[in-house]
Every structure is written in C-alpha cells, then in structure tokens.
A and B are shown apart, each in its own frame.
Chain A
C-alpha cells in the first residue's frame, strides 16, 4: 500500500528565508507527483506537477524535485514571503489504478 509522508508537519520561518519541504512515498510505481497549496478554509491549488520521467519542475520561486528510486520529493521555496503561509501537500498518482494518495501536509508560516 502506498504511504505518503510529509516532514515536518509544521514550519515557521522569517521572511526572506529559503526553505525546503519534504515528501516521501513507499512505492516507486507512480505516474507523477503533484504539489498543492491550501489556504485555510479553501480548496487545493496545484503548484507543480512532476512526471515520473522528470527530475524537477520550476515555477517562479518554487522548485520541486523528484527522486523516484528513493521515493522522495522536495519543494524548495526561495525568498519566502508572508503570502506563502499556507499548508503544502504532496500527492502521488499510482500506476496501477490511477488514484492519488496524499501526504498530511506541512503547515508553513512565514513571519514578517
């Protein structure tokens, strides 16, 4: 059974700091891995999608990497801002049945 783990569960950093969020998964037979952002009381917004054949994807200050063989992904946020405060979730799409399995998320607080 695919298990997705995100560490740390919560993170607080001062504004301007670069930071890394971690995601690990137990089964490497995946189609892709997706990072989402969720603001309190809101839905999930897709940030980055990495296909299983890719090593990384970048969007603005965000960079996500994927090491399928070791079952790990990282989300790097450069020059963090208070507006980055949210919960960040990773999810993997399973190769055998297409469903998505989510981590519990990392709650990020960026202090001005």
Chain B
C-alpha cells in the first residue's frame, strides 16, 4: 500500500544546477500538487494538476516547472537552482472535489 511516494528524500545541489523531484501515487487520484514548507511560512502551493495533461500555477511557481503525462506521476523540475529554493518539498494527491488529501514523506533540498 504505497500511497504517495517521493524521491529523493534528501538532495544537495549547487547554485545553477538542475534537478527533478519525483512524485508517484497509486490511488488513481486526479489531483496532484507540490508544496514547499519553510520555517515560519507554512505550506505554500507551487503547482498543481487536476488530471493528465492539465497543470496550473499555485502561489509560488517561479523557478519550477511541472508536467503531468500520466495519472500516476507528477515530477517537479528545478531548472536552475537558487539558494532561495532550499526547502522541504511535499507532494500530495487526492480525488478532485471533496477528496481527502494524502501527502508524501517529503524531499529535503539544500542549494549551496
């Protein structure tokens, strides 16, 4: 019973490097989303998707790209990492509408 799986759990990058955070869910959820969590800032929505081929921006989308080619996967791409992107990233999924939101364990990213 995997639920929402995020990889990697930890990553250290240098400024300017690119990387992809992976998120997969096995619950056939239409809705998937990425949040970042920073001390004192709470959870902020980066991007979300309500189905394959459909993505939209959240509160803090700059510096991040997403795509949704399948129902199961929703990768988050950092094109050119900056120290301001040091954070803990959470992926979440649910059914659209009144669905319960389920979270992954998080990916801790440090940009030097």
Contacts and interface: CB of A to CB of B under 8 A. Distances in A.
Given A98-B97, A104-B42, 17 more contacts: A36-B103, A42-B105, A43-B90, A45-B103, A46-B101, A51-B98, A89-B43, A93-B99, A93-B101, A98-B31, A98-B96, A99-B48, A100-B92, A102-B35, A102-B42, A103-B42, A104-B41
A74 B70 CA distance: 37
A46 B45 contact: no
B42 A100 contact: no
Given A99-B33, A100-B33, A102-B42, A46 B102 contact: yes
Interface in B70-108: 90, 92, 96-106
A99 B45 contact: yes
A81 interface: no
A91 B101 contact: yes
Contacts, number: 57
Interface string A28-72: 000110101000001111100101100000000000000000000
Interface residues of B, number: 26
Interface of B: 31, 33, 35, 40-45, 48, 50, 56, 58, 90, 92, 96-106
Contacts of B35: 102
B55 to A, nearest CB: 12
A105 B42 contact: yes
A32 B98 contact: yes
A100 B45 CA distance: 8
B112 to A, nearest CB: 21
